[in-house]
Structures are given as C-alpha cells and as structure tokens.
Structure 1
Amino acid sequence: MKTIAIIPARENSKRLPNKNLLLLGQIPLLVHSILFAQRNPSIIDEIYVTTDSAAIKKVALQYGVQVIDRPDAISGDFEPTVTAIQHVLDTVSFTPDHVIVLQPTNPLRPDYLLQDAFKAYANNSCDSLFTVSRNHQKLGKISNQSFIPFNYAIGQRSQDLEPLYFENGLLYITQTKLIREGKIFSENSLPYEVNHIFATVDIDTQDDLDYAAYLINKSSRLRST
C-alpha cells in the first residue's frame, strides 16, 4: 500500500498576506508541515505541495518535496481544498491507497500524532480519519438582542457541560476513493480526539501567528530545562 501526504498552500490570503511564507520559529509557516511529514517516513511514501505560487514552490523544492502546480481555475478564495487534492491525484502517475492532508495553517502538531492516528485509522473500518478537540466553552446565539444558550442551561457549571467537539484541522487521513467522490471525510469517518495545546493553533491573523510563536518558544524552553 502507498500513502502520500499532500500540503495545500495557496498564494493568496486576504487577512494575513503571504501567510504560508511568513516566518514562524525562523522557518516559513509552510515548512512546519513539510518537516512533520518528513519525520514520518514509515507511514508517508511521498510528499507533495500543491500551490499556485512560484515563491511557495521554490521553498518547497528547497526542502526536498515534490510540487504540483495548481491551475488558477482551482485556486480561488471559494474553491474547496478537495479540488486541489483531486488535482494532485490526477497529476501523479500512480494511485495511492491513502492520502494524508496537512494544512500549513495548522503548523504545530504533537510528534506522536501521525503514528497514533494512523494506527487508529488502520484498526477501524472507516474510510477516513480527522482530528477533533473537545470544546469547554458555553456557547449560544444572539436572537432579537437576546442570548440563547446552545450547549448549557443558565447557571450550569462548565465542568458539567455535555461534551461537544470541534474539527481542529491538524490532520486528515483518507482513502483515495473518498477523495474521488469529492470528500475529505464523510459520515463513515473516525473522529480522533486531540486535546493538546497545539490543537488551538490555526493561523489566519497576525495574532494567531504570534500565539504560535509563543507556544514554540515555550516548548523550546521546556525541552532545554
């Protein structure tokens, strides 16, 4: 069986321009996902970056991964990620059994994550796996200037909330046939719980990038003590 990793990295970003090339811990944001994939050679056979950017392509090639030039037609702001993944599969000369999708906007991942998640994926009769984290907030909506609780009753303690989870974007593992159907995960997907602090990082703004830099510095200090 063959497993490939695909890292989708568009050039355009309205809220944080050129974010995939911004430095985080002295290397471009994109590179964190490349290095994570390269640290898992027992699982990942080949690594591809799909991009519409010459600058991103240059960086990816410098780090020894393959690059698929993404056409403008599937590089727009409203284009779903799955079309870029499908284009990679249409471009390579073979059909992998499994695809691992690593978003560069989720640059920090526990070292053990892929090994543990892939084992769970292989041991379950699912067509894909995606990572989730538990929500610990009291959520609600505002209607007619009134707050309506969603996941709790007024006065209820936070520790008594019914467990709810959010898709954190750290990792997706999927069978190739599901990608062909236009999906990265489906109703037959395994939600894999990750409650590590890194699961709170999703880079969309400068504040997000600053927070990720803080976590990297904190982790480095803990390792050196």
Structure 2
Amino acid sequence: MKTIAIIPARGGSKRLPNKNILLLGNYPLLVHSILYAQANSEIIDDIYVSTDDEKIKEIALQFGAKVIDRPIVISGDLEPTITTLQHVLQSIKDEVENVVLLQPTNPLRPESLLKECYNTFKETSSDSLFTVSQNHQKFGKIVNSKFIPFNYEIGQRSQDLEPLFFENGLLYISKAKSIQDNKIISENAFPFVVNHIFAHVDIDTQNDLDYAHYILNHFNF
C-alpha cells in the first residue's frame, strides 16, 4: 500500500496568469512542491502532478514527477480539489493507502514539516491531517455602518484573546478511502499547528508572489 503525493496544477489562473510556472527563486512555482516531495522519499512513494496544461506537464516530467492529464470537465475555476484527487486515484493502478496533497500555491514549507505531520497522522490514527496556524488579529464585521467585534471586546488586549486558527494550506494528508468518500478533511481530522512565516505564503496574486520572493531572499531557514 503506497503513500503518494498529488500536486494539482491547472493552467487557467486568471488573477495571476501562468502562476504555477512562474519563477520563485531558481524554480517554477510547482517545482518547489515536487522537490519537497522528493526530499521526503522515505514517506512518499510516488509523486503525481495533475494538470490540463502542456507546459506544466513538460516541467513536471523534467523534474521527475509523474503526470496525470486532467480532463477539461474538472479543470474549471470553481472545480473543488477533491475531484482532482479522486481522478488521480482512479487513473493509477497502484493500491494507495494515503495521499499527501501539496498545493503549488504554498511553495515554501519547513523542512521537517512532512515528517512531523506524517508521524502525528500515524500516531493519532486519524483519517486525515491538515496544517493550521494561530491568528492573533482582532476580527469583526460591519453591520449598518457599525463595527461589531467577533473574537474580542473593545479594549481587550490582543494577548488575552481566545486563540483562533486558520487553515494555512501547507499540506494535507488523507487516507485514500476518505478522498473516495469526498473528504479531504474528515470528521476526525487532526489539526497540526504550524506557527511559521511560511504559513503566510499563499500565492494567488502578484503581491503574493512578490511577498514569497521577499521571504525567500531575506530569511535564512
């Protein structure tokens, strides 16, 4: 039974055209996830890039990943990631136990993160695991031109807030059976806390890419 990595990388990005093949440092964006998976070969048996784009396919093959041609019908803007993962599982002959989802838009990850997450995934007997980070901001909403605090009271110190967490997208681990049941994050999913600057790099716009370049060039990890 294999553990595989799946990297979904379609070619139709609108806000940042061709984002999955834009350079971040010395490599195209999606290649960072391929190299990360290769660096964890003691966990990951095979690496699959799912794409509808010939240039992405060419780059993925060049860097040693296997490619699954994604049908147009599941390549649209609004298509959920789960259908891509299901299509990959349906397209390969190997019996897969676990899937590691690496999104190319989250290209920077702490070196030991996958090993720590995978060990926790096994130890907790979870059906899935996903990474989260703590948010220290004061949230609220505006109703009838008035600001209504959500997670604090006016005047409360930020250090006294009840902790809130956000799904940072760095990586996901799911049993193949959960994916077949339409769940990347299952009911007993383990939220693995990652408080690291990489958790704030999620590339969807040019500003996001510029920030990723800044982090890559100015911080030594």
Give the TM-score of the pair, scaled to structure 2. Answer: 0.98
Give the conservation status (yes or no) of the 8 Å contact 2:174–2:184: yes
CA distance in 2, matches of 1:10, 1:146: 41
Amino acid at match of 2:137: Q
CA distance in 2, matches of 1:182, 1:78: 16
Report the counterpart of residue 128 of structure 1 in structure 2.
Answer: 128
Report the counterpart of residue 185 of structure 1 in structure 2.
Answer: 185
Measure how far apart 1:25 and its partner are. Answer: 0.4
Measure how far apart 1:186 and its partner are. Answer: 1.7
CA distance in 1, matches of 2:218, 2:186: 36
For 1:56-102, what per-residue CA distance to the aligned partner results, in whole angstroms no more than 9, with x for missing partners?
A: 00000000110000000000111000100000000001221000000
The 5 Å alignment of 1:50-199 reads 50-199=50-199
Identity of aligned residues (%): 65
Structure 1 unpaired stretches of 5+: none
Measure how far apart 1:125 and its partner are. Answer: 2.3
Measure how far apart 1:26 and its partner are. Answer: 2.1
SS, match of residue 141 in structure 2: strand
Report the counterpart of residue 28 of structure 1 in structure 2.
Answer: 28
Amino acid at match of 1:72: I
For 1:101-152, what per-residue CA distance to the aligned partner results, in whole angstroms no more than 9, with x for missing partners?
A: 0000000000000010100000002100000000100001111111100000
CA distance in 2, matches of 1:86, 1:30: 20
SS, match of residue 165 in structure 2: strand
Structure 2 unpaired stretches of 5+: none
CA distance in 1, matches of 2:172, 2:28: 22
SS, match of residue 172 in structure 2: strand
Give the TM-score of the pair, scaled to structure 1. Answer: 0.97
CA distance in 2, matches of 1:13, 1:142: 31
